[in-house]
């Protein structure tokens, strides 16, 4: 039942929408003379973030952030550390946007739907003070053993490289 019902003449009723589960729900208005009219109201699910790609990038920003999840609505906004991710495009499950520039650090990624419901991926994106620009080859065999070349800037002689926590040796091979 709607609460704080307010009748504005004979053409408009406003009320506070009660809590409900996601989905389309019937709205029924009943006059004192028992006449009824009905329509539908949709409760949008909360958005969720399942993953983002990439998880880090250069201080200058640029590139495209891809967010996979659920419950995304058109007209949403995305921020990384409070800075707008430009030109977001969306479907119900995928968002892409242009990554803004920022200072070094790890920041929250926040998706706010047009209905003001939001989701935060805490520490979801890291701005690297030294960027990794690409890797070659980008894929290889399950048995490993391939030589991986990592391109970027600002690497120092004591740097290490990992692939999902597997340590690479100085020649780009797994130890």
**pLDDT single digits (tens) 64-121:** 999 999 999 999 999 999 999 999 999 999 999 999 999 999 999 999 999 999 999 9
Q: Mean pLDDT across the stretch 132-159? A: 81
The answer to whether the peptide bond before residue 28 is cis (omega within 30 degrees of 0) is: no
Between CA 28 and CA 76 the distance in angstroms is 30
CA distance 87 to 7: 40
Strands (E) in 9-63, as ranges, are 12-16, 23-30, 36-43, 48-53, 56-58
Does the reported pTM lie above 0.75? no
Give dist(CA 140, CA 132) in Å, integer: 19
Strand 36-43 and strand 23-30: pairing? antiparallel
Q: How confident is the model at residue 175 (pLDDT cuts 50, 70, 90)?
A: low
């Amino acid at each position: 039942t709607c609460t704080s019902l307010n009748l504005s003449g004979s053409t408009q009723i406003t009320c506070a929408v009660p809590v409900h589960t996601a989905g389309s729900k019937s709205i029924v208005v009943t006059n004192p003379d028992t006449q009824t009219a009905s329509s539908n109201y949709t409760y949008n699910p909360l958005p969720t973030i399942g993953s983002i790609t990439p998880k880090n990038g250069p201080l200058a920003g640029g590139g495209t952030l891809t967010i996979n999840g659920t419950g995304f609505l058109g007209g949403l906004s995305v921020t990384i550390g409070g800075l707008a991710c430009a030109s977001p495009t969306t479907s119900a499950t995928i968002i892409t946007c242009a990554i803004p520039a920022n200072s070094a650090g790890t920041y929250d990624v926040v998706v706010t739907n047009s209905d003001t419901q939001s989701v935060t991926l805490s520490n979801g994106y890291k701005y690297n003070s030294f960027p990794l620009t690409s890797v070659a080859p980008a894929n290889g065999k399950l048995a490993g053993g391939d030589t991986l070349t990592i391109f970027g800037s600002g690497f120092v002689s004591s740097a290490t490289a990992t692939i999902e926590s597997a340590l690479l040796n100085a020649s780009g091979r797994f130890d």
